[in-house]
Every structure is written in C-alpha cells, then in structure tokens.
Amino acid sequence: MDLASGVGGKINKAQVLDAVDKYEKYHVHYGGKQEDRNANYTDMVNKYYDLATSFYEFGWGESFHFAHRWNGESLRESIKRHEHFLALQLGLKPGQKVLDVGCGIGGPLREIAHFSSTSVTGLNNNEYQISRGKELNRIAGVDKTCDFIKADFMKMPIPDNSFDAVYAIEATCHAPDAYGCYKEIYRVLKPGQCFAAYEWCMTDAFDPNNQEHKKIKAEVEIGDGLPDIRSTTKCLEALKQAGFEVKALEFAGLAPKGSLRVQDFLEKAAEGLVEGGKKEIFTPMYFFLARKPLSDNN
C-alpha cells in the first residue's frame, strides 16, 4: 500500500493537514476537554480513522487490534488465535447471524466468518473503512454472506433481538458512554445469547491524581481517537446496568503534507501504551463474556 496515496482515507491530500489540526484540538495535549470529546465523538473518531486507517493497514494488516504472542508465534498467528478465541467463547455455530460492533475494515469479521461458518455484519460509522472493507470482503470471497452497516453504535438502525451473537474488539472504547453503547448491543442481541468483547480500560492501579499516569492516559487517547478511557470497574458496572449477566472476565497488559503529524500522534499512542503496560495501569484486552437473559425484565 502506498501511504502517500492512502493517508487521509477519503480526505483529499490537500486537506490532510487541516484535518490533523482539527483532530488534535480535541485532545488534552492541545487544550481539548473531555466534555468536548464526548459531545463530538462521532466527528473526532471519524477524523481519526480517516487519517490513521492507511497507516494501520500498512503496518498491522487488516485486523486493528492487539494480541498476546506465544514464543515462536508470528504476529499474524497471534491475531488469528485471538479472534478464534472470541468465536469459541461465543460458541458460534454455522449459519448464525453475528454482529461485529466497530468492525474497522473487517479483518476479524472475515477471519471469524471463515472460522465459524457464520454470517457476520460489520457495524462502522466511517465511510472510508466500510468501502475498503467491502473490497476486501469481495477479494476474500465472503461478500455474499458478510456485509457492513454504516451507523453509530450508540443508535443502531437494527431491530430488537436480531443477532445470535455480538462481539466488539477494541472498538467500544470509542463510545462516549459505555452504558448507552452496551444497552444498544443488549437490545439487538437475541435473548439467551452472548456478547463478548476486548475492551480498552484503565486498571485499578491507575491514579487520576498522578501526573505521570494522567500523561500516559492522554497519550493513549490522542493516539487512538478515544474520548475517555474507562476503568475496568466502570466497564463492568455499565454491562450489568445494561442488563447483562457477566460470565467471564480477564485482562492482559499489552506521505502528503500532514502525514508526519499523523505518525506523531500514533507514536504518542505507542509510547503511552508501552508505559501504561509497564506500570500496569492500562490494558487493551479487558475481555468479558456477557449473556442477555432469556427473560428480559428491563
């Protein structure tokens, strides 16, 4: 992939620098406020992925997420195993309808569809990523059984009780309100079925009064398009408030003008992620498996 032609997604090359300026102003390093990031999360996240998607695909492949690696295991092998684990935890069966919330360009969607013989729908609010994902689905031969919906995961244009399973891989961290996001997922999931996710969270070791901890958190937020990184406790509370029965929990620690600025905030994220992992105050892999009860009393 040619980054010089790909950076900015659907943004015209001449507009990349302006988009970087607008994106950066949302964040603490540039005087931005959390309230503004929450209120304008759709614009902020779209700007982030329009700018960063080509960098991600070039350096990471089609699956934009972390995975711990065994000795002797390649990055690609670890990514596949991470996705297969999710499918196995959900107990996916051939022919089921599955929703991928915040699907990126669909790398996990295609892998899980192949692995489990299911039909996976990817939900994404970024036009460039969806167009790229559709092309990759066609190349992979899953375009007849897998598709995308362009929508905000805070208000999905999907009927109640539509899916046999739902998963999210390091995506719902972009939501301005965890409860609102989980409640929507609960609504579209069939009763008795499960939602599994890898969530980005601050651990109990994070001290909001520690300046170094705050700096690390801010670096991750600007480098990864996040309004606010929630604690594992808040994440769990939001799941239960949404109505889910939590079954399992675990976590593991870790071109054109304007392109260098995109690279800069991605590198800030890398520094923050590494330091956050070393200090055990952050995890990108807070895994949970939650079930919607057969009897919905909410």
pLDDT at position 35, please?
64
CA distance 63 to 213: 28
pLDDT at position 110, please?
96
Q: How confident is the model at residue 158 (pLDDT cuts 50, 70, 90)?
A: very high
Task: Dump the DSSP string for 28-55.
Answer: GGGT--HHHHHHTHHHHHHHHHHHHHHH
For the stretch 179-210, pLDDT in tens is: 999 999 999 999 999 999 998 888 888 999 99
pLDDT at position 267, please?
47
Q: Which residue in the block uniquely carries the two structure tokens 């905030």?
A: 265
CA distance 99 to 119: 9
CA distance 186 to 269: 31
What is the overall mean pLDDT for the chain? Answer: 78
- Identify whether the C-beta of residue 99 lies closer than 8 Å to the C-beta of residue 188: yes
- Identify whether the C-beta of residue 148 lies closer than 8 Å to the C-beta of residue 123: yes
pLDDT at position 261, please?
39
For the stretch 36-85, pLDDT in tens is: 555 555 665 666 666 666 666 665 566 656 667 678 888 788 888 989 99
Which 8-state DSSP code applies to residue 231?
A: B
Compute φ and ψ for 34, nearest 5 degrees.
-60, -40
Quick one: tokens of 56? 């991600």
CA distance 217 to 273: 8
Q: Which residue in the block uniquely carries the two structure tokens 């997604």?
A: 9
Return the ∠ at Cα 112 (arms to 97 and 293), rounded to 5°. Answer: 45
Closest CA to 121 of 154, 153, 79, 82: 153
Statement: residue 165 has pLDDT above 70 = yes
- Structural domains of the chain ordered from first start: 3-291 (3.40.50.150)
CA distance 88 to 116: 9
Greatest mean pLDDT among 212-221, 254-263, 266-275:
212-221
CA distance 15 to 18: 5
Statement: residue 264 has pLDDT above 80 = no
* Lowest mean pLDDT segment, chosen from 136-145, 237-246, 263-272: 263-272
Q: How confident is the model at residue 19 (pLDDT cuts 50, 70, 90)?
A: low
